[in-house]
């Protein structure tokens, strides 16, 4: 293993929902782990005044498209997008080609992510073979390689019997079942929320009842079995109510909401621009309000992106021919801050700590992802997101590092920008730029970071030298060559 | 006057009136021995048809030819589309060949609007999915105005499969924009709950509607809706919402009956109604050509035919042709 590097992120507002900490503090990172949180500092200093440090963000619902859909995304490009979005762990769905319905695909995706080195992945395994909803996949084989959650992604398990068996069987590992909540018969052929907009546009509808019927069924099944259920991308007001009631009854259910469902409405279908086509569909303003309320009260535990890259030739089609889904990894934090924490009009939905909880701590806990989501305390892995809650930027699809640019937020000016992302003490994003870590074995020793480091030069830091050789001696100041710092970050991986 | 013609929602009463007035000039061309004016000479109109539709395509082709435009027909079957070519690639290929206007018929709602993102050419929607069929509504307005003498204040009943009908959306909006009182009627499974937001009323009771109907507009009801459980059988549909001799007799004497075709005789309409003297179904077909000439002329003709004067000043094609 490489030399241990010591670094202090100074002066940031540290928000750690796992401990309740919300204060200006330094975080000392020693190698892969947090050494101290508080007034201490050691090693190199990175000025984080005015910034927020949170646990690295965790996304329960992404599509990395590899294997099989590499024209739209790869594990490398998707985890790069995740890192730029402040994420340190993401959960890719099983609808790859071949389907992640056996351990080999799970292992492949994990290995690709390790090779890329930018973000941990916790793949979701399929519930049924080929996502066909009929025969159970070998959940045990996938659980053996670390899978904690099973889902047929966008294809609901229509048979209550099959889903109930899966829930019961998954209890062997106390694993989680996540079922796309739209009744297949009720949404057959539908491409937009059933209602006035779809009727006017002549688009086949997907009624909100389709989602609510499925959630009600799945909640009852989980309740009866004591099974763990996760409900993806909740999009209707009544669905929030159903989940709230179930939680009050003690059902072991968690739920997520996406940035697009808590900000956008069905009206965007009006120009037939398929970038706005998604399942479940964008709903009404009343639904958006209910989703926000559900996040505020904690009925909806997590914010998840359902990052769904699609190549331009697939999205630049007739509305009804284009595949559903939109990218979200690089905009999720900023959309959350802009719309829910610092809205230009109206009352905020979430406090900043609540937003951090929904983007990091709650999703990590809900899926048993250790080492992410905090607590930020000595000995914990240094998985961190450092963001500027004030910085404004405009979403330009062409500069997204995801291979696909199907963002519904194109042209929007958002508030909140990821400055640094640290994965086990190593910068995956530094100063808003990806570090050059995609090939950790290239060994050229060249600096990985071209951006400026914010050393403060506050003089020598009274800390013992870290063990082992290190190019940056204790007491390094602003005069330290940037290359040496970058080199250490690199070696830290 | 018109850049693209995509939806009746885009047209106000003045614009609709202008299209209909312009069409009157073109209607008379069909009565001449030489049924052609030079208005669009040198312009190229492409009929891009992703759905089979002999009557609409033929109507547009005749309209363009009577305006002296060059026409080309591109149908999805047996073309590059059947080899998997995308709408974008097809559209850009046509544009590279220099077409000035594309008349598109497509089974997907919104396809005409999507096409406008890919080309500079003018786009005319000849029917997209369940969404809109604006020239159908315009020719219906023209036909009713011609036979009844007015549009404002008429009681119009649009009966049948409203949910799946692009004609219904265009016709309801067109008549409502022109000041008619529109009621849609059909089985509740085939009438969107939000239909009143189109500026019409909704009833499921056809018999209660007939006595106060000036214009009875019957929509095509496809038999496959039966297998999708929208109604149990075509026999039951015909009994409750179909129009035959008995219901025809309960219309006011001056009432007229329209149908966009093709008809399902025995379902929404019986032979006696289709062939009744107050059925305007063949007049609709005849007028379709004049109305489509009017639309193409207003979209393409203005700049070239009368560069010195704005096209809105030319009230009829006759005047333009005379210049």
pLDDT along chain A (493 residues), means of 10: 78 98 98 96 96 98 97 98 98 98 98 97 98 97 98 97 98 98 96 97 98 98 98 98 98 98 98 97 98 98 98 95 98 98 96 98 98 97 98 95 97 98 98 75 38 36 39 37 34 30
Count Cβ atoms within 10 A of the Cβ of residue A467 and give its class: 0-12 exposed, 13-18 middle, 19 or more buried.
exposed
Looking at residue A15, what DSSP letter applies? E
Q: What is the pLDDT of residue B226?
A: 78
B169 is catalytic: no
Same domain, B234 and B166: yes
Q: Sheet harboring B44-49: ordered strands across? A: B70-75, B44-49, B101-106, B122-128
Pick A202's closest partner by Cβ from B88, B130, B197.
B130
User: Do B110 and A317 make contact, defined as CB atoms within 8 angstroms?
Assistant: no
Same domain, B105 and B72: yes
Q: What is the pLDDT of residue A183?
A: 97
Residue B165 token pair: 């009908």
Q: How far is CA B90 from CA A307, A312, A319, B39, in A?
A: 30, 16, 17, 27
pLDDT tens digits, residue range B246-272?
999 999 999 999 999 899 888 999 999
Of the residues A201, A266, A410, the best mutation for testing chain B's interface (the one with the most B CB atoms within 10 Å of its CB) is A201
Band (pLDDT 50/70/90 cuts) for residue B20 is very high
What sign for the dihedral angle of Cα A108, A112, A117, A118?
A: negative
Burial A389-412 (b: 16+ CB within 10 A, else e): bebebebebeebbbbbbbbbbeeb
Pick B131's closest partner by Cβ from A202, A271, A316.
A202
CA distance B75 to B62: 16
Question: Is the predicted pLDDT of residue B136 greater than 80, yes or no?
Answer: yes
Residue A90 token pair: 């993401």
- Our measurement of the distance from residue A392's CA atom to the centroid of its chain's CA atoms, rounded to an integer in Å, reads 21
Residue B3, in any domain of the structure: no
pTM: 0.88
With beta carbons under 8 A apart, name residues in chain B contacting A321.
108
Same domain, B223 and B240: yes
Band (pLDDT 50/70/90 cuts) for residue B81 is confident
Q: How far is CA A317 from CA A242, A273, A407, in A?
A: 36, 9, 15
Q: Does the beta carbon of B130 lie under 8 angstroms from any beta carbon of chain A?
A: yes
CA distance A324 to A281: 9
Residue B207, in any domain of the structure: yes
ipTM: 0.90
Q: What is the pLDDT of residue B75?
A: 85
Same domain, B97 and B23: yes
Q: How far is CA A161 from CA A169, A270, B48, in A?
A: 12, 39, 48
Residue A229 token pair: 């259920």
Q: Which domain holds residue B217?
A: 134-282
What sign for the dihedral angle of Cα A149, A154, A160, A165?
A: negative
Q: What is the pLDDT of residue B230?
A: 94
- In the CATH hierarchy, which top-level class contains the domain A54-383+403-412? alpha beta
Q: Please report where in the chains the tokens 């219309």 appear, as a residue.
A: B251
Q: What is the pLDDT of residue A455?
A: 38
Report the gap between the CA of B110 and the closest CA in chain A (Å): 5
SS3 label, residue B281:
helix
A306 is catalytic: yes
SS3 label, residue B84:
coil
Q: Does the beta carbon of B128 lie under 8 angstroms from any beta carbon of chain A?
A: yes
Residue B37, in any domain of the structure: yes
Q: How many structural domains comprise chain B?
A: 2
**Considering only CB atoms, which residues of chain A are within 8 Å of chain B?**
195-196, 199-204, 271-274, 313, 316-321
Question: Is the predicted pLDDT of residue B322 greater than 90, yes or no?
Answer: no
CA distance A153 to A159: 15
Same domain, B293 and B204: no
Q: What mean pLDDT is predicted for residues B163-191? A: 97
Q: What is the pLDDT of residue B313?
A: 40
Same domain, B38 and B121: yes
Pick B110's closest partner by Cβ from A199, A313, A318.
A318
Same domain, B266 and B293: no
Taking one residue from A and the other from B, the number of pairs with CB-CB distance under 8 angstroms is: 67
pLDDT tens digits, residue range A405-458?
999 999 999 999 999 999 999 999 999 999 985 444 443 433 333 333 433 333
Same domain, B203 and B160: yes
φ and ψ of A288, to 5 deg:
-60, -45
CA distance A95 to A63: 8
Q: Which residue out of B122, B133, B225, B259 is catalytically annotated?
A: B133
Q: What is the pLDDT of residue A465?
A: 39
Smallest CA–CA distance from A196 into chain B, residue: B194
Q: For residue A316, which of A406, A191, A408, A190 has the smallest C-alpha distance?
A: A406
**All structural domains of chain A with their residue ranges:** 6-53+425-491, 54-383+403-412
Residue B234, in any domain of the structure: yes
Q: Which residues neighbour B60 within 8 Å (Cβ) at sequence distance 6 or greater?
A: B45, B47, B103, B124, B126, B135, B292
Residue B74 token pair: 């591109």
Q: For residue A491, which of A450, A451, A435, A452 has the smallest C-alpha distance?
A: A435
Same domain, B142 and B206: yes
- The DSSP element (H or E) to which B155 belongs, if any, is strand B155-159
Looking at residue A276, what DSSP letter applies? G
CA distance B81 to B76: 5
- Our measurement of the distance from residue B295's CA atom to the centroid of its chain's CA atoms, rounded to an integer in Å, reads 11
CATH of the domain at B260: 3.40.50.1370
Same domain, B155 and B260: yes
Report the gap between the CA of A224 and the closest CA in chain B (Å): 34
User: Do B110 and A201 make contact, defined as CB atoms within 8 angstroms?
Assistant: yes
């Amino acid at each position: 293993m490489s030399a241990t590097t010591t670094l202090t992120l100074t002066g940031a507002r540290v928000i750690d929902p796992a401990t309740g900490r919300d204060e200006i503090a330094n975080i000392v990172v020693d190698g892969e782990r947090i050494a101290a949180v508080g007034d201490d500092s050691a090693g190199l200093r990175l000025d984080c005044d005015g910034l927020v440090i949170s646990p690295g963000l965790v996304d329960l619902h992404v599509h990395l498209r590899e294997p099989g859909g590499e024209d739209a995304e790869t594990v490398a490009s998707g985890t790069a997008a995740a890192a730029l979005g402040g994420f340190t762990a993401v959960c890719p769905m099983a609808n790859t080609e071949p389907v992640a319905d056996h351990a080999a695909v799970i292992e492949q995706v994990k290995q690709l992510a390790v090779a890329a080195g930018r973000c941990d992945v916790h793949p979701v395994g399929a519930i049924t073979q080929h996502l066909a909803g009929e025969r159970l996949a070998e959940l045990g084989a996938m659980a053996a390689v670390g899978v904690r959650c099973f889902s047929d992604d966008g294809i609901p398990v229509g048979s209550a019997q099959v889903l109930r068996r899966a829930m019961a069987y998954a209890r062997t590992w106390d694993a989680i079942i996540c079922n796309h909540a739209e009744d297949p018969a009720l949404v057959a052929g539908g491409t937009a929320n059933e209602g006035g907009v779809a009727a006017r546009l002549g688009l086949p509808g997907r009624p909100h009842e389709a989602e609510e019927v499925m959630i009600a069924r799945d909640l009852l099944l989980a309740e009866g079995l004591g099974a763990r259920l996760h409900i993806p991308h909740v999009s209707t007001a009544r669905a929030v109510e159903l989940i709230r009631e179930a939680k009050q009854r003690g059902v072991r259910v968690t739920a997520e909401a996406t940035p697009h469902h808590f900000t956008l409405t069905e009206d965007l279908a009006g120009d037939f621009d398929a970038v706005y086509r998604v399942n479940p569909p964008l709903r009404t303003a009343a639904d958006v309000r209910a989703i926000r309320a559900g996040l505020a009260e904690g009925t909806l535990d997590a914010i998840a992106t359902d990052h769904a890259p699609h190549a331009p030739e697939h999205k630049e089609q007739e509305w009804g021919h284009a595949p559903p889904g939109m990218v979200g990894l690089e905009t999720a934090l900023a959309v959350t801050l802009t719309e829910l924490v610092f809205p230009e009009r109206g009352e905020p939905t979430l406090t900043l700590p609540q937003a951090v909880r929904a983007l990091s701590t709650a999703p990590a806990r809900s899926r048993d992802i250790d080492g992410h989501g905090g607590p930020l305390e000595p000995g914990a892995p240094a998985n961190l997101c450092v963001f500027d809650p004030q910085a404004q930027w405009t979403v330009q699809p062409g500069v997204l590092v995801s291979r696909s640019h199907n963002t519904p937020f194109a042209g929007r000016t958002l508030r909140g920008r990821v400055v640094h992302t640290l994965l086990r003490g190593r910068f995956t994003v530094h100063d808003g730029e990806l570090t050059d870590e995609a090939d950790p074995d290239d060994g050229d020793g060249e600096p990985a970071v071209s951006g400026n480091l914010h050393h403060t030069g506050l003089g020598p830091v009274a800390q013992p030298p870290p063990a082992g050789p290190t190019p940056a001696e204790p007491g390094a100041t602003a005069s330290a060559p940037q290359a040496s710092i970058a080199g250490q970050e690199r070696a830290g991986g | 006057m018109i850049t693209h013609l995509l939806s009746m929602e885009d047209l106000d009463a003045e614009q609709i009136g202008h299209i209909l007035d312009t069409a009157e000039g073109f209607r008379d061309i069909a009565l001449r021995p030489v049924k052609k004016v030079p208005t669009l000479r040198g312009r190229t109109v492409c009929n891009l048809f992703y759905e089979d539709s002999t009557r609409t395509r033929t109507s547009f082709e005749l309209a363009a030819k009577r305006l002296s435009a060059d026409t080309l027909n591109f149908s999805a079957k047996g073309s590059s589309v059947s080899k998997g070519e995308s709408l974008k690639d097809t559209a850009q290929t046509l544009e590279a060949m220099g077409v000035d206007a594309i008349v598109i018929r497509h089974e997907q709602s919104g396809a005409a609007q999507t096409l406008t993102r890919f080309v500079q050419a003018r786009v005319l929607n000849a029917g997209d999915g369940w969404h809109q069929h604006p020239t159908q509504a315009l020719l219906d307005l023209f036909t009713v105005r011609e036979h009844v003498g007015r549009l404002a204040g008429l009681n119009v009943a649009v009966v049948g499969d409203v949910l799946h009908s692009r004609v219904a959306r265009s016709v309801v909006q067109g008549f409502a924009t022109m000041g008619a009182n529109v009621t849609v009627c059909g089985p509740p499974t085939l009438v969107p709950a939000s239909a009143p937001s189109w500026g019409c009323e909704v009833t499921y009771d056809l018999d209660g509607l007939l006595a106060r109907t000036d214009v009875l507009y019957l929509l095509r009801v496809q038999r496959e809706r039966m297998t999708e459980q929208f109604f149990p059988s075509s026999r039951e549909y015909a009994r409750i919402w179909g129009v035959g001799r008995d219901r025809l007799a309960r219309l006011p004497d001056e009432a007229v009956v329209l149908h966009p075709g093709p008809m399902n005789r025995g379902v929404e309409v019986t032979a006696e109604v289709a062939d009744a003297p107050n059925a305007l179904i063949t007049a609709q077909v005849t007028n379709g050509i004049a109305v489509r000439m009017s639309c193409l002329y207003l979209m393409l003709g203005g700049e070239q035919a009368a560069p010195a004067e704005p096209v809105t000043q030319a009230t009829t094609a006759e005047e333009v042709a005379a210049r």
